[in-house]
Amino acid sequence: MARVLCLGLVAADFVLGLETLPRRAEKYRAQTARLDIGGAARMASAVAALGGEAVLAGRIGDDDLGTLLRTRLVARGVDCRALHAVGGAGTPFTSILVDGAGERQIVNYRDAALHGDVAGLAPHLAGVDAILSDTRWPAGAEAAMNRAQADDIPGVMDGEAPTGVARAALAAASHVAFSQQGLRDFLDGSDDIAAADSQLSGLVAVTEGEAGVRWHAGGETHRSPGFTVTAHDSLGAGDVWHAAFALALAEGQAVATAMRFANAAGALAVARTGGPDGLPERDAVSALLARGETPRIEVENGTGD
């Protein structure tokens, strides 16, 4: 069983479904509601659901919400010994309003006292097969990517905006997978993946939803096609994709195979056919991969293989 350390923002997501998004300062009633776990916590949960050994490193407050998150994560099989409760701080949470067409309003709260240092992190970076981090704890991400580089294991960065605060971590990572927004943020509006690759030392990719993923390596841009599924909710699908990709690399899968595995996991997350919070399990991913003939990995430019 591959052991993956997931690091970054640990937050509660309060998701409320309404017919239309609020436009005025009035009271509104939601038709649906659920409590999700976001950020690095969702990545760690996805690793565990996919059959990996998940370790979560992050900061929460010493409050009731932090206790609730920790209890839920432990119940999912996530190792939370590196999840530190900061005295006097509040646990991050997000209010997410979703209308009938899938449009969202998102408001996030993060206590500035949580991510100011990396005290106590170093011992937890040892003894893992891969490290996955978001950009929301820049100092922690930099320390984690440097440790992954020193230990010669995959160091994967989820290149979500804002990317500028985590440039050092992105530069040290062996694999950077941007969202489309993250890539444009990194390149000041451009989506030229080759340009991003020229600025970073590791493999550079960009996830594009149902279109799959593009990545640049060896002077060539490749594409791994996505899967067609009935989409119900894309919230957190990027976290699941990154978790699956990091787990596959930790297991020794080649990049192209890991991309395909992650595409399948992300598709199932959008379809929300899995367990808690729609997290896909390994058997479901394997079944999706086994259906029909797997499309070949395309080369968009260059000479190809």
The domain limits of the chain are: 3-21+29-299
What pLDDT is stored for residue 304 in this prediction? 35
Q: How confident is the model over 166-194, as pLDDT tens digits?
A: 999 999 999 999 999 999 999 999 999 99
Q: How confident is the model over 26-78, as pLDDT tens digits?
A: 999 999 998 989 899 999 999 999 999 999 999 999 999 999 999 999 999 99
What pLDDT is stored for residue 103 in this prediction? 83
Mean per-residue pLDDT for 101-126?
90
What pLDDT is stored for residue 273 in this prediction? 61
User: What pTM was estimated for this model as a whole?
Assistant: 0.92
Q: Angle at Cα 47 formed by Cα 42 and Cα 50, nearest 5°?
A: 120
Indicate the CATH number of 3-21+29-299 among 2.102.10.10, 1.20.200.10, 3.40.1190.20, 3.40.50.300.
3.40.1190.20
CA 142 to chain centre: 16
